[in-house]
Amino acid sequence: MQCKTSYCELRRKEIINVCDGARLGPICDLELDVGTGTLLALIVPGPPRMLGLLRSEEELVIPFCRIKKIGEDVILVELESSPNGTRPAMTAHRSAPP
C-alpha cells in the first residue's frame, strides 16, 4: 500500500509531541534531499515574540525519523522536552545556502 500526501495537506495538520502532549503548531516548511527525493525534516515556526506581532527567528526542525504517525488532522512526533520542560530545543533561523 502506497501512502501519498501533498505539502498543502501536511501544513493543515497540527503537530503534537507524544512525549508531553504539547501542541507544536503547524508545519511552515519542509527539508528535502533533492538528490534522492526524500523528506528529511518538518519545520515548525518558533514561538511568537512581542505579543505575537513578530515571528521568532528560531525554528523547530523535526527529523523524519521522529515522526510516529501522520493522521487525518494531526502529526504525532516523539521529541524530548527542552531542559526547562516546555518545548523541545529550537534551532537558529536557517539562512539560504551561499
Q: Is residue 68 part of a domain?
A: yes
Total domains in the fold of the chain = 1
Q: Is residue 46 part of a domain?
A: yes
C-alpha span between 68 and 45 (Å, rounded): 20
75 close to 22: Cβ distance less than 8 angstroms: no
Say which CATH number the domain at 16 has. Answer: 2.30.30.240
Q: Is residue 1 part of a domain?
A: no
**What phi and psi values does residue 47 have, to the nearest 5 degrees?**
-65, 145
CB neighbourhood size of 62 (10 A) = 22
**For position 92, what pLDDT does the model report?**
46
* SS3 state at 30: strand
- Taking the chain (98 residues) in runs of 10, the rounded mean pLDDT of each run is 81 93 91 94 80 68 94 93 52 45
Interacting residues of 41 by C-beta distance below 8 A, sequence separation 6+:
30, 31, 61, 62, 63, 64
Tell me the pTM: 0.73
